[in-house]
Amino acid sequence: MTMFTDLEPRAPDAILGLMERFRADDRPDKVSLASGVYVDESGTTPVLDTVREAEARILAGQTTKVYKPIGGDPAYTAPVRDLVFGADHPAVVGGRIETLHTPGGTGALRVAGDLVAAIAPGAAVWLSTPTWPNHPQVFSAAGLPLRNYPYLGEDGELDIETMLNVLHSVPAGDVVVLHGCCHNPTGIDPTAEQWERIAETVAESGALPLLDFAYQGFADSLTDDARGLRALLARGGTMFVASSFSKNFALYDERVGALSIVGTDAAETATLLSHTKGVIRANYSNPPAHGGEIVATVLADDALRARWVDEVGMMRDRINGNRTRFVAGLQAAGAPGNHEALMRQRGMFSLLPLGEERVARLRDAFGIYVVGKGRV
């Protein structure tokens, strides 16, 4: 008998566990609508041309495999900060923002959660209903209590008034997780005017906004997708931003992310940076190098960067085109639902009103794999 003898198996992850089940399915006509991974017309997830070229340059010039700094190489963190916030933004120029290299966007979220737990252990984390299935796991694992705020209305639209009413009541010092763009799983993003109201409400409450910015460039453009970030930043308070390059660089298996710390002034940012480095040191010590070097190489070269922007645009156009064809198919079949709301959605996901029984039937009878109650 050991300390693990009575341990019960844990339920599979809602998304990755479903993908394991999909891979084990031997039906030749099976279809996965589960994983948040871009695929091209041939059904493959390609390596971007700019990524291939950057990798070739890196391998040709590489002379060492020495550790990166705890927060990452400035050759990566500086251009990432400028991409996310804009190089000429007053908060950047004024030293209010520090960006750290993390193992993916999930790593950024966990570092932020651990930082909050260390500094303000009584703080709760507020998540939208619904949200990415891994959000609750990440912040619960950091030891933080969870709360929810409403997001999706019964009509399939953003329920902004109910959302704001709840956000107004969030206690000062709690954390509000907001999706920067391409809300996962609904695809419903606030308008520019709604973002201003959200930013003002969160600022008035005294809560700490944590922006999950995993899909920059997949909604409208790299710049336009940061409208929510800019609205929050304009309030002048402290905020965290978790970024990922899994999607817009198609670097899924390289685990490339960043956590940006925004303080009320440069001194507060420096203090938060020191504590964040302490959290990282006790976790993974240093970020992995290769994926970050790819991103840094592309962003540092004007010609390569311009080609990458075009590649992001092509992926975005294909996603939007697929959404248009999907909605047209629903309309042609006479399917019920708010088709106009579906067309206004952005990014890789939509949340369909299927329910668990229909999702199970799609999977078991037809080999169509859908997450939860209807995320595709």
User: Per-residue pLDDT tens for 65-84?
Assistant: 999 999 999 999 999 999 99
SS3 148: strand
Res. 1 pLDDT band, cuts 50 70 90: confident
Going along the chain, which residue ranges are E strands? 31-32, 97-103, 125-129, 146-150, 175-179, 208-213, 239-244, 256-262, 368-369
pLDDT above 90: residue 154? no
pLDDT, residue 185, reads: 93
CA atoms within 13 A on the CB side of 233: 22
Confidence (pTM): 0.94
Res. 16 pLDDT band, cuts 50 70 90: confident
CA distances (Å), 78 to each of 57, 166, 277, in order?
Answer: 20, 36, 17
Catalytic site residue from 126, 195, 225, 247 = 247
Catalytic site residue from 126, 132, 195, 308 = 132
| Residue-range domain boundaries for the chain | 16-47+304-369, 59-302
- So what CATH class is 59-302? alpha beta
Mean pLDDT of 199-211: 98
CA distances (Å), 230 to each of 31, 90, 200, 261, in order?
Answer: 38, 11, 12, 14
- Asked if 148 and 127 count as a contact pair (C-beta separation under 8 A), the reply is yes
At residue 259, φ and ψ (nearest 5 deg) are -115, 120
Catalytic site residue from 68, 212, 225, 308 = 212
Residue 100 carries which DSSP code?
A: E
CA distances (Å), 125 to each of 111, 185, 229, 232, 241, in order?
Answer: 14, 18, 19, 17, 15
pLDDT, residue 346, reads: 92
Q: Is 212 annotated in the active site?
A: yes
Mean pLDDT of 127-140: 96
Q: Is 132 annotated in the active site?
A: yes
At residue 69, φ and ψ (nearest 5 deg) are -60, 160
- So what CATH class is 16-47+304-369? alpha beta
- Asked if 353 and 194 count as a contact pair (C-beta separation under 8 A), the reply is no
Higher pLDDT, 171 or 22: 171
